A = this chain, B = another copy of it.
Amino acid sequence: MAPSRPLRPATQSDVAREVGVSRTLVSFAFRGAPGVSGETKEAIFEAAKRLGYRPNAVAADLARKHRSAVGLYLMDIRNEVYADILSGVRLALPQDGNRLILSVSRSVDGVDRGALESLIEARAGIIIAATLLDPDESVQELAQIVPLVSVTRPVPGVDSVYSDDIAGARAATEHLLGLGHKRIAHLAGPVYDGHTARRRSYEKTMHDAGLKPQTLAADDFTQEAGQRATTLLLKQSGRPTAIFTHNDQLALGAREAAYALGLSIPQDLSIVGYDNSRIAGLHGIDLTTVNLHAASLGQAAGAIALERLKNPEGPIADESLRPELVIRNSTAPPPAQT
Q: Give A residues with C-beta under 8 Å from B.
A: 1-6, 9, 52, 54-59, 61-62, 77-78, 80, 83, 86-87, 90, 99-104, 106, 117-118, 120-123, 140, 143-147, 157-158, 223, 252, 255-256, 259, 278-279, 282-286, 308, 312-316
Q: Bound state CA distance, A83 and B101, in angstroms?
A: 17
Q: A56-B62, A101-B101, A255-B283 are in contact. List 20 more A-B contacts (CB 8 A).
A: A1-B313, A2-B315, A3-B157, A5-B312, A52-B145, A54-B117, A54-B145, A56-B121, A58-B122, A58-B123, A62-B62, A77-B86, A78-B80, A78-B278, A99-B121, A99-B122, A102-B103, A102-B104, A282-B285, A284-B285
User: In the bound complex, what is the Cα–Cα distance between A145 and B9 (angstroms)?
Assistant: 7
- By Cβ-Cβ distance, the 9 closest A-B pairs, closest first, are A284-B284, A57-B121, A102-B102, A259-B283, A77-B83, A78-B83, A58-B123, A58-B58, A54-B120
* B56→A123 contact, CB < 8 A: yes
Q: Which of B3, B147, B157 contacts A158 (CB 8 A)?
A: B3
Q: Is the CB of B223 within 8 A of A278?
A: yes
In the complex, what distance in Å separates the CA atom of A100 from the CA atom of B140? 26
Structural contact, A283 and B256, CB atoms closer than 8 A: yes
A-B contact list, 15 entries, CB within 8 Å? A2-B314, A3-B157, A5-B144, A9-B146, A55-B121, A56-B121, A58-B58, A58-B61, A58-B123, A62-B62, A255-B282, A282-B284, A284-B284, A284-B285, A284-B286
Specify which chain B residues have a CB less than 8 angstroms from the CB of A1 in the assembled complex: 313, 315-316
**Complex Cα gap A252–B286 (Å):** 14
- Shortest Cβ distance from A91 into B: residue: B106
Q: Give the nearest-CB partner of A140 in chain B.
A: B3
Residue of B with least CB distance to A7: B312
- Cβ of A90: which chain B residues have Cβ within 8 Å of it? 106
Residue numbers in B under 8 Å from A5 (CB-CB): 144-145, 147, 312
B122 near A282: Cβ-Cβ < 8 Å? no
Are A104 and B123 closer than 8 Å at their CB atoms?
A: no
Q: How far is the CA of A104 from the CA of B104 in the complex (A)?
A: 12
- Inter-chain contacts of A56 with B (CB < 8 A): 62, 121, 123
- Chain B residues with CB below 8 A from A147, complex form: 2, 5
Q: Which residues of B contact A9 (CB under 8 A)?
A: 145-146
Query: Are B57 and A123 within 8 A (Cβ)?
Result: yes
Which B residues touch A140, using CB under 8 A?
3
- Could you say which of B86, B286, B308 contacts A2, with CB atoms under 8 Å apart? B308
Q: With A and B bound together, what is the CA distance between A87 and B260 in angstroms?
A: 28
